[in-house]
Amino acid sequence: MHLAHLRLRDFRNYPRLDVDFAPGFHVLLGDNAQGKTNILEAIYLMATLRSFRGVGGSQMVRHGQKGYFVGGKAVGQGEHEIKMYWSTAERKLSLDNQPVRKLGDYFGALRVVIFCTEDLQLVKGPSRARRRFIDLLLSQTYPSYLPLLQRYAQALRSRNALLKQRTPDDAALESFSNELVKLGNEIIRMRVELIPKLSPLARLAYRRISNDAEELRLEYQPSVKKDFVVELAQSRRREQTYRSTLIGPHRDEILLQLNDRSAAQFGSEGQKRTLAIALKMAQAEYLTGIHGSAPILLIDDVMGELDVKRRSGLLPLLERAHHTRGQVFMTCTEENWPRELGRDLQRWEVKAGALKKL
C-alpha cells in the first residue's frame, strides 16, 4: 500500500501543497519548525481521522484561515481518493467522491503505523493510551470494530447521564445496561482474540531491538472478570456513590511486562522507549500478516533518538516495507540523519511549508 498523492490546503503551515509520492523510502529533511511532522500528521489524519498529536481540528487549520483540506490518493488492492475538509462550521469526508457514511469501511482505504515520541505514553501513560492503541489496531483490521466501539461509547454516555440523575429510572437503566453488556461483550471478545496474537510479535520485535535483553509479555486484563451482567449488577452500590459506570471494556488494561514485572513501574527509560517501538513494530507486522501488504510507516524523529544498536533492530522492518513496494516516510534534521539507511532513498527538503525533491 502507498500514498501516491498528497494535497493540502491551509493545513498547519502549508498554504497549498500538491505532491506525488512513489512507493519506497522517503526522507523528509529540514531544520526545526519547517513542517516535516505536519506532513506525517496529515497522512495519519487521513488514515485514522485523528491527529497523533492528540489535538482537535481547529489547531490544524492554518493560522488566520477558516478550514483545512487534506486529500490524497491511496493505492493498495485498488485505488482510493480521500478528501477531508474541516472547519468549525462544517466537516466533510469523502471516499472516491462519495460521502463516507460507514466509518468502518473507510478505515481500510489507508493503513498507517506511526512511530513518534508520543509513543512513550503507551508505556508510561494511563490505560486509555493502551486501549486506544488496541482499538486502532482492531479498527484497522475489522470494519465492524469501530462502529461497535462507537455504539458502546454512546450506550456508556447515556447510562452515565442516567446515573447522574437523583433517582434514575429503573427500566431505562436496565435497557442501557443490556445494550452496554451486549456491545461490551463483543468488544471484550475481539480484544481477547487479538492480544495473544500480538504478544509474540511484540516480544520478537523487542528482542530484535534490545538484543535479547528481557522477555516482553502483553497481558489483557479485562475489567469484566467473568460475567458482565453479574458484575455490573454487583457494582450498583458503588455506582450510586460514583454516579458512573465502573465496570466494562472502557476500564480494560493491557499490562506490559518485562521479565514478568510491570514495565511502567520497573522499566528504565531506555527499556520503555524500546518497548514503545516494539509495540508499533508489532502493529505493523500484524497488519502486514492480516492484509498481505505492509501499512505505510510514518517515522517521526525517533531514529535520531535511538542508539545505533536499537536503530539496527528497526532497519529490517523498514527494508521489508521498502522491498515489498510499501512506503516509509521518515523525518530528520541534517544533524540526526542516520547514514546507514542506504542508497535507495527519495529525499525531500522541507522548508517553511514547502516540499522540494532533492
Ligand X SMILES: Nc1ncnc2c1ncn2[C@@H]1O[C@H](COP(=O)(O)OP(=O)(O)OP(=O)(O)O)[C@@H](O)[C@H]1O
Site size toward Mg ion (CB under 5 A) is: 1
Q: Which residues, 328 to 357, sit near ligand X by CB under 6 A?
A: 331, 333, 350
Q: Decide whether 287 or 350 has the Cβ nearer to Mg ion.
A: 350
**The 3-state secondary structure of the chain, one letter per residue:** CEEEEEEEEEECCEEEEEEECCCEEEEEECCCCCCHHHHHHHHHHHHHCCCCCCCCHHHHECCCCCEEEEEEEEECCCEEEEEEEEECCCEEEEECCEECCCHHHHCCCCCEEEECHHHHHHHHCCHHHHHHHHHHHHHHHCCCHHHHHHHHHHHHHHHHHHHHCCCCCHHHHHHHHHHHHHHHHHHHHHHHHHHHHHHHHHHHHHHHHHCCCCCEEEEEECCCCCCHHHHHHHCHHHHHHHCCCCCCHHHCEEEEEECCEEHHHHCCHHHHHHHHHHHHHHHHHHHHHHHCCCCEEEEECHHHHCCHHHHHHHHHHHHHHHHCCCEEEEEECCCCCCHHHCCCEEEEEEECCEEEEC
As measured in angstroms, the least distance from the Cβ of 257 to Mg ion is: 31
Binding mask 276-305 for ligand X (x = CB under 6 A): ------------------------------
As measured in angstroms, the least distance from the Cβ of 33 to ligand X is: 4
* Residue range at the interface with Mg ion (CB under 5 A); choices 30-38, 158-166, 172-180, 337-345: 30-38
* Residue range at the interface with ligand X (CB under 6 A); choices 57-65, 105-113, 123-131, 198-206: 57-65
By beta-carbon distance, which residue lies closest to Mg ion?
Answer: 37
As measured in angstroms, the least distance from the Cβ of 41 to Mg ion is: 9
Q: Which of ligand X, Mg ion, none lies near 32, with the C-beta cut-off 5 to 8 A by kind?
A: ligand X
13 touching ligand X, by CB under 6 A: yes
| Binding test (CB under 6 A) with ligand X, winner from 37, 199, 274, 283 | 37
34 touching ligand X, by CB under 6 A: yes
Q: Which of ligand X, Mg ion, none lies near 140, with the C-beta cut-off 5 to 8 A by kind?
A: none
Site size toward ligand X (CB under 6 A) is: 18
Q: Which of ligand X, Mg ion, none lies near 256, with the C-beta cut-off 5 to 8 A by kind?
A: none
| Binding test (CB under 5 A) with Mg ion, winner from 2, 3, 26, 37 | 37
Query: Which residues lie near Mg ion (CB under 5 A)?
Result: 37
Query: Which residues lie near ligand X (CB under 6 A)?
Result: 12-13, 30, 32-38, 59-63, 331, 333, 350
